[in-house]
Amino acid sequence: MAPARTVPAPLKYVVGIDIAKDTFVACFGRIDLHQHMSFGKEITFANTLAGFAALLAWASKQQGVDAPCWFVVEATGVYYEELAYFLADQAQALSVLLPNKVKHFAQSTEQKSKTDQLDARLLCRFGLERALPAWQPPTPALRQLRALSRERQSLTQQAARLKTQRHAYEHSYQPDARTLDRLNNRLHLLEQQLHAVDHDLAALLATEPELARKLAHLTSVPGIGLTTALVVVAETNGFVLMENERQLASYAGLDVVQRQSGLSAGATRISRRGNVRLRTALYLPAVSSLRYNPQQIAFYARLRARQPSGKPGVIAVMRKLLLLCYSLWKNDCAYDPHYHPARCPEKEVAPAS
């Protein structure tokens, strides 16, 4: 009789989770000492507290011997947040990955199809193959800051559209006074709500002196006001998921891409596949810094010497301001216009369009 085969002890377990609005798909996998990976059948759970509890019970049953167990989730919209906070509260090891990071990993595999089950298995494989950073939940202050910041951006955009609508109607043939009154009333309501949001933001910063202190580092940059600093910090959750400047630029959609094959070489451009709120918030500060910031003025002039159009230079300044905010926040220091890094200067690259 042949001896029983010994199953190598697992190094770790990973649960990959592809999440949607109402449900999520989980795939359980393990990797052993010989780097052999095995996967179980994908299971669908409800995206509710009951579903979260069922997930933990199911994952516990899948584990044999004692080994670390990680949950890997993609940061898709806001649907992952309830599950992520639940797992964090239960002291579970969790990694939350940016979508572009998952996409790049998927491109390195032979997986061509895309389903919820395959995506869950892909995330599970990602966690088995890589040593992923543990997710750090943003503080309640940062969560409140993001909600207020997004509300303010939405109200500002609505007010701008309403002003344009009112201006056009005022210059139309025989505008109705009653319609104008209603337009003015709606605009007045938006202005009142904007004032209320600003009051809530001021109250939040008054109760969070550490957050206010670090925001002051960002506003020390010429062209960066408090509103822009709030958006940058809120949309990046205090840069908690950002490991480097390249990842941050990609998250904002300000990374430079190029299409080249053989003799065909396309012009460089920004990807625009990122957080549009960040790009919107950085445009006017970039334009403003080209009037008041000598460093950015010189940087823009060098780019314009190589680019006939001014827009790529403005985009490059937007990227530079974002990375500067990242550096000031991470290093916990204010902007120093006379600072010169000892390393080689950053390569100046501007998209063509």
Tens digits of per-residue pLDDT, 228-265?
999 999 999 899 878 888 889 888 888 765 554 444 44
pLDDT band for position 300 (50/70/90)?
Answer: confident
pLDDT of residue 165: 96
The percent of residues above 90 in pLDDT, for the chain, comes to: 59
pLDDT of residue 345: 45
pLDDT of residue 66: 82
pLDDT above 80 (res 353): no
pLDDT tens digits, one per residue of 144-182: 999 999 999 999 999 999 999 999 999 999 999 999 999
Instruction: Count the residues in the chain.
Output: 353
The percent of residues above 70 in pLDDT, for the chain, comes to: 89
